[in-house]
C-alpha cells in the first residue's frame, strides 16, 4: 500500500466521507465538524452551522486545508474535498475540465446537505467555486476567490508549466528531499520558501522506488488546458452572491486585475495580504483567517441572524 504524507488527524479528527462525483467518480470529503461539540455551533436554523466547502488548487489536496478547516469548524460545518485526480479521490483518465470539477463540487454540496454553502477556493479551486455559484446559485451563499486570475493565461504559459513538471526529479529518495527541492532548489521557487516545500511534501506518496506526487502530471495538464485559454470575466459578472477576492502581495494575481474582478463581481469585496505569494493561506495564515472570518460574518452569519430575528 502507498504511504501518504497526510495530516488530517492532528488536533481535530476529520471524518472521511465518500461522495459520488460526476460520471460516478469516487470523491473523498473530510468533515472537520466531526471533532466539534454541538455547543460550539454557530447561528443557523435550529442551531445548524452554516456550511463551508474548501476547494484546493490544481497542485493541492484536501489536507492542505486542515488548519483553515479547524479554525472555522467551531462556527461552520467545514468540509474539505479531495477533487478528482487528487488525494484519496478517484483518479480516472478523464475528464479533467472545469465543468467536471464544478459538477463534482455540486454533487458534494447536495450529497452532504451543505447548502446554502460558502465555497472557499484556492487557485483552480476558486474557479470551481465561482462556476458553481453561476450554475447553481440556489446552492451557494458566498464564495472566496484566493489568487485565481480571470484573464486567459495563454499557450506559452502552458508550455512553460509542462516543462516545469517534466523537470521534477522524481522519484525523490526521501520526503525531506522532496521538501528541500520544491522549497529551495526548484528554479520556480524564487525566492526559496520553506512553506512551498511543506506544501509539496503534503502531496507526496511513497512507492517502491521512492516518493512521487500523488497526482499524474498528464491529468494536471489536461485540467489546465481549457481554463488557461479562456477568460472568465463574463462568468464573474454572473456571480450573484457575495464574493471575496483575496490576493497575496507577491502572488500570481496582480492588484489591477484583482480590483477589476471585484468591480465586475456584482457583490465583490477585496482583501490583500502582505508578505504572501500564491500560497496565501499558508504563507500568512493569521491574516488569511482574519480576512475570511470577517467576510463570513458579513456575508453569511449576520444576514442569517437578521433573517432569523425577522422571522420571530
The residue extents of the domains of the chain are 3-161+217-311
**Whether residue 6 has pLDDT greater than 50:** no
Q: Is 212 helix (H, G, I), strand (E, B) or coil?
A: strand
- The model's pLDDT over 74-114, given as tens digits with 9 standing for 90+, comes to 999 999 999 999 999 999 999 999 999 999 999 999 999 99
CATH class of 3-161+217-311: alpha beta
Q: Name 77's bridge partners.
A: 51
Show Cβ contacts of residue 38 under 8 Å, excluding neighbours closer than 6 positions: 47
- Whole-model pTM: value is 0.92
Q: Name 15's bridge partners.
A: 31
Q: Name 20's bridge partners.
A: 26
Contact 27, 83 (CB under 8 A): yes
Q: Name 213's bridge partners.
A: 204
Contact 132, 120 (CB under 8 A): no
- The model's pLDDT over 36-85, given as tens digits with 9 standing for 90+, comes to 654 444 555 556 899 999 999 999 999 999 999 999 999 999 999 999 99
- Report d(CA 261, CA 253) in Å as an integer: 10
How many other β-carbons are positioned within 10 Å of the β-carbon of residue 157?
12
Determine how β-strand 51-55 pairs with β-strand 117-122: parallel
DSSP state of 265: S
Q: Please write down the long-range contacts of 175-183, taking CB distance under 8 Å and 24 or more positions apart.
A: 175/5, 175/201, 175/204, 175/206, 175/211, 177/211, 178/204, 178/211
Amino acid at each position: 500500500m502507498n504511504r501518504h504524507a497526510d495530516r488530517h488527524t492532528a488536533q481535530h479528527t476529520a471524518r472521511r466521507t465518500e461522495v459520488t462525483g460526476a460520471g460516478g467518480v469516487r470523491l473523498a470529503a473530510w468533515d472537520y465538524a466531526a471533532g466539534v461539540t454541538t455547543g460550539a455551533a454557530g447561528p443557523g436554523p435550529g442551531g445548524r452551522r452554516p456550511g463551508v466547502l474548501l476547494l484546493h488548487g490544481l497542485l493541492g489536496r484536501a489536507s492542505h486545508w486542515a488548519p483553515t478547516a479547524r479554525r472555522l469548524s467551531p462556527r461552520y460545518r467545514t468540509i474539505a474535498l479531495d477533487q478528482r485526480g487528487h488525494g484519496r479521490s478517484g483518479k480516472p483518465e478523464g475528464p479533467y475540465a472545469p465543468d467536471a470539477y464544478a459538477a463534482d463540487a455540486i454533487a458534494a454540496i447536495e450529497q452532504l446537505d451543505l447548502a446554502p454553502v460558502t465555497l472557499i477556493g484556492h487557485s483552480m479551486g476558486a474557479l470551481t467555486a465561482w462556476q458553481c455559484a453561476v450554475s447553481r446559485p440556489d446552492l451557494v451563499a458566498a464564495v472566496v476567490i484566493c489568487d485565481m486570475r480571470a484573464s486567459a493565461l495563454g499557450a506559452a504559459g502552458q508550455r512553460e508549466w509542462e516543462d516545469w513538471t517534466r523537470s521534477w526529479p522524481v522519484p525523490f529518495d526521501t520526503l525531506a528531499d522532496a521538501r528541500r527541492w520544491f522549497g529551495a532548489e526548484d528554479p520556480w521557487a524564487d525566492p526559496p520558501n520553506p512553506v512551498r516545500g511543506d506544501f509539496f511534501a503534503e502531496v507526496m506518496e511513497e512507492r517502491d522506488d521512492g516518493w512521487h506526487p500523488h497526482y499524474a502530471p498528464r491529468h494536471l495538464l489536461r485540467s489546465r488546458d481549457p481554463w488557461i485559454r479562456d477568460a472568465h470575466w463574463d462568468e464573474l459578472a454572473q456571480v450573484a452572491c457575495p464574493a471575496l477576492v483575496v490576493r497575496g502581495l507577491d502572488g500570481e494575481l496582480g492588484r489591477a486585475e484583482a480590483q477589476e474582478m471585484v468591480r465586475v463581481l456584482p457583490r465583490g469585496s477585496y482583501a490583500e495580504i502582505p508578505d504572501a505569494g500564491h500560497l496565501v493561506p499558508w504563507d500568512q495564515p493569521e491574516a488569511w483567517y482574519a480576512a475570511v472570518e470577517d467576510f463570513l460574518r458579513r456575508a453569511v452569519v449576520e444576514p442569517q441572524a437578521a433573517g432569523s430575528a425577522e422571522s420571530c
